[in-house]
């Protein structure tokens, strides 16, 4: 490809883009519950849930959240554990923790009234330029842009940007372009339309150019290179980690421990586990885990399951053993809480998604499994 300079003039005026795009959006937009309101709480909740999440996956979470916590006051008053349980399975749990912290800040510092500008919204925990722009434009009509993955893809094709959209200068250029296009009279609708176009028409693979309302304004379509854009940096290989997991049982109850609120999977419950050393015997690994994490003497039992799970940045294999507690008391070092729980009560605790692959078979006399 011949690189297009990042400071080339725009091929079409904003009005030539706004009119067709807004018309298309008003005719074809999906009927989603957060689009039936301008309530900033509902808009903000939807935007946080839909970060790194497809609409079809996020919709039931949104509906459960809005039913359980119908106002920002209700969310602020909730226990973090309840928020995490409701978020369970959605991933990127820092979003849930920040959602809860931001709700508290809105209630404590703003009296429950949302800040009305992107610059003020960006001061809330977990609210970056994209979320701030989305809430400010949709709920309050501020003329500010939003740039997410869908918008980056649309703009890269619209202006035939052949440099990597992951680079700092190109990212800044995309924000500048998005800002120049936002409709003065309908900024929220325009931003939603741009995101909708990327989600439904200008898709990552095989964009549906004949159905696109902006095909006449699109440089990439004119050049026949829409499917080649955007250019992304090559992804790094995802590392793999093997974990030994101790399902420690005592009188029909299993020991679970809670992770600190900060960091990956913060605030979630899990079974004591640790990375396996190369060539380490499982029984030795279990002794090391229980001694360092739980300080409980155990008798290693049978292999329960071998679970594979992939996170965005890491692949894990969890080898789960059922162990009987022999002696000792729980002495937490890295974790914040511990409980002995019957399998029937697991549903009341928020676990990482990988744990749900073996939770159903705990307490059963099941043969070793590979999940």
pLDDT averaged over every residue in the chain: 91
Local confidence band at 363 (pLDDT 50, 70, 90 cut-offs): low
Nearest to 286 by CA among 251, 316, 249: 249
Phi/psi for 323 (5° steps) reads -125, 150
pLDDT for the residue numbered 286: 80
CB atoms within 10 A of CB 259: 19
Number of H helices, E strands in the chain: 13, 8
* Mean pLDDT, range 36-57, rounded to an integer: 96
Residue showing tokens 């697991």: 346
pLDDT at residue 7, as a whole number = 45
Q: Helices 168-181 and 149-158, interaxial angle, to 10°?
A: 80
Per-residue confidence (pLDDT) for residue 282, from 0 to 100: 75
The token pair that represents 180 in the structure block: 């120049």
Give the catalytic positions in this structure.
47
pLDDT tier, 294 (very low <50, low <70, confident <90, very high otherwise): low
Question: Is residue 368 over pLDDT 80?
Answer: no
- 333-368 burial, b at 16+ Cβ within 10 Å, e below that, comes to eebeebeeeebeebeebbbbebbebbbebbbeeeee
Q: What's the pLDDT tens digit per position in 43-52?
A: 999 999 999 8
| Amino acid 367: pLDDT | 42
Predicted confidence (pLDDT) at residue 6 exceeds the cutoff of 70:
no
Q: What percent of the chain has pLDDT over 70?
A: 94
Closest to 339 measured CA to CA, from 19, 141, 81: 81
Q: What domains can you pick out in the chain, each with its CATH number? A: 14-228 (1.10.340.30), 240-370 (3.90.79.10)
Sequence-separated (6 or more) residues with CB below 8 Å from residue 310: 238, 316
Mean pLDDT, rounded, for 131-137:
98
313 vs 213, more confident:
213
Q: At what angle do helices 168-181 and 14-28 cross, to 10 degrees?
A: 80
pLDDT value at residue 301: 77
The confidence score (pLDDT) of residue 77 equals: 98
For the stretch 180-221, pLDDT in tens is 999 999 999 999 999 999 999 999 999 999 999 999 999 999
Q: Is residue 299 scored above 90 in pLDDT?
A: no
Give the pLDDT of residue 290. Answer: 76
pLDDT tens-place string over residues 146-189: 999 999 999 999 999 999 999 999 999 999 999 999 999 999 99
Q: How far apart are CA 213 and CA 14, in angstroms?
A: 14
**Per-residue pLDDT at 1 exceeds 90:** no
279 — pLDDT class (breaks 50, 70, 90):
confident
Q: What residues contact residue 87 under an 8 Å CB cut-off, 6+ apart?
A: 61, 93, 95, 96, 350
What pTM does this model have?
0.87
> Taking residues 96-113, what's their average pLDDT?
97
Say if residues 179 and 129 touch (Cβ distance below 8 Å): no
Residues 79, 84, 87, 93: is their CA dihedral positive or negative?
A: positive
At 309, is the secondary structure helix, strand, or coil?
Answer: strand
Residues 6+ apart with CB under 8 A from 336: 258, 259, 260, 261
d(CA 61, CA 87): 7
Q: Which of 22, 15, 7, 9 is nearest to 193 (CA)?
A: 22
Can you tell me the mean pLDDT for 228-255? 91
Instruction: Tell me: cis bond preceding 230? Omega within 30 of 0 counts.
Output: yes
- According to the model, what pLDDT value does residue 370 have? 47
CB–CB of 246/273 below 8 Å? yes
């Amino acid at each position: 490809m011949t690189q297009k300079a990042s400071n080339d003039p725009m091929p079409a005026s904003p009005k030539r883009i706004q009119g067709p795009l807004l018309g298309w959006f008003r005719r074809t937009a999906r009927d989603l519950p957060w689009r039936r309101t301008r309530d900033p709480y509902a808009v903000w909740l939807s935007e946080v849930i839909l970060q790194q999440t497809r609409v079809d996956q996020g919709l039931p979470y949104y509906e459960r959240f809005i039913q359980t916590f119908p106002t920002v006051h209700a969310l602020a008053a909730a226990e973090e554990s309840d928020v995490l349980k409701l978020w369970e399975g959605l991933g990127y749990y820092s979003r849930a923790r920040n959602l809860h912290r931001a709700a508290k800040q809105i209630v404590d510092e703003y009296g429950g009234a949302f800040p009305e500008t992107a610059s003020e919204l960006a001061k809330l925990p977990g609210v970056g330029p994209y979320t701030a722009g989305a809430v400010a434009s949709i709920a309050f009509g501020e003329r500010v842009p939003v740039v997410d993955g869908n918008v980056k893809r649309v703009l890269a094709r619209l202006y035939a940007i052949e440099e990597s959209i992951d680079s700092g200068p190109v990212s800044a250029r995309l924000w500048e372009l998005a800002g120049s296009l936002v409709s003065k009279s309908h900024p929220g609708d325009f931003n939603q339309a741009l995101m909708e176009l990327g989600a439904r028409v200008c898709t990552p693979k095989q964009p549906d150019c004949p159905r696109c309302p902006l095909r006449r304004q699109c440089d990439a379509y004119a050049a026949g290179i829409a499917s080649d854009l955007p250019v992304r940096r090559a992804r790094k290989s995802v590392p793999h980690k093997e974990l030994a997991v101790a399902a420690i049982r005592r009188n029909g109850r299993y020991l679970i421990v809670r992770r600190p609120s900060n960091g990956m999977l913060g605030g979630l419950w899990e079974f004591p586990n640790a990375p396996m050393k190369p060539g380490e015997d499982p029984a030795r690994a279990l002794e090391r885990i229980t001694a360092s994490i739980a300080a409980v003497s155990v008798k290693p039992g049978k292999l329960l399951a071998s679970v594979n799970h992939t996170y965005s940045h890491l692949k894990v294999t969890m080898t789960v053993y059922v162990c009987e507690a022999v002696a000792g008391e729980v002495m937490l070092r890295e974790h914040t809480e511990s409980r002995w729980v019957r399998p029937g009560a697991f549903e009341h605790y928020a676990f990482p998604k990988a744990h749900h692959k073996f939770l159903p078979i705990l307490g059963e006399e099941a043969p070793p499994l590979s999940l």
